[in-house]
Amino acid sequence: DAGVIQSPRHEVTEMGQEVTLRCKPISGHNSLFWYRQTMMRGLELLIYFNNNVPIDDSGMPEDRFSAKMPNASFSTLKIQPSEPRDSAVYFCASSLGGAVDTQYFGPGTRLTVL
Amino acid sequence: RKEVEQDPGPFNVPEGATVAFNCTYSNSASQSFFWYRQDCRKEPKLLMSVYSSGNEDGRFTAQLNRASQYISLLIRDSKLSDSATYLCVVKSSNDYKLSFGAGTTVTVRA
């Protein structure tokens, strides 16, 4: 079975540009998570969707970040405008849901904002 | 205080050695515990869940001490392929959020 799919795997952009990261969760999973990982802060949860509905976006750094999940098989994380401090690895993860469940991570998108 | 704290290491051990490390968590209501493994420039992957009675998975043994709020991971007969960062992960029963430690780096040398 395919795991979580993310694209692009690498993104290099200039400050001020819009960046869109994409994620396809594992089929049948109803929970989706976007994380950001940096050396300084480790893994941080940005936003959590359940059944395509955003449940908790308290980890989204600021209004420049937005996320959508238009259907059960696709989600986007958008940064507009991007800043150098947004440089990080962005992971998408999905899970079946429930009290005790495993989150499966995608390969991540390595974002560099110049 | 961070929710999950880990000794960052690195732990440098020879092949065949035993290495063990802990993590502590601050939320006494935490109910689920995991160890994830993350290889360099890769995504985190579940290594094993940690059960109250302790559990083994091959060369890996995980222990939970609720009274002292710590979790441990022991790796026996270390292999070169065990070199990775091990993330301690904690989850409350009524919460979907996973709290990740910063990771403990293990390097196994030939």
pLDDT tens-digit series, residues A80-89 = 999 999 999 9
List chain B residues with CB under 8 Å of A53: none
| B29-76 residue pLDDT tens | 888 899 999 999 999 999 999 988 889 999 999 999 999 999 999 999
- The pLDDT confidence band at residue A101, using thresholds 50, 70 and 90, is confident
Q: Which residues does residue B61 pair with via DSSP β-bridges, in sequence order?
A: B56, B74
Q: What is the pLDDT of residue B24?
A: 96
**How distant is the Cα of A37 from the closest Cα of chain B, in angstroms?**
10
**Count of CB atoms within 10 A of residue B6's CB?**
23
CA distance B24 to B58: 24
Element (H, E) at B55: strand B55-57
Collapsing DSSP to helix, strand or coil, A86 comes out as helix
Tell me: pLDDT of A114 over 70: yes
Q: Which of A19, A24, A27, A23 is CA-nearest to residue A1?
A: A27
Measure CB to CB from residue A48 to each of B41, B87, B96 and give the nearest one.
B96
Q: Which of A114, A107, A113 is CA-nearest to residue A35?
A: A107
Collapsing DSSP to helix, strand or coil, B80 comes out as helix
List chain B residues with CB under 8 Å of A91: 43-44
List chain A residues with CB under 8 Å of B44: 43, 91, 105
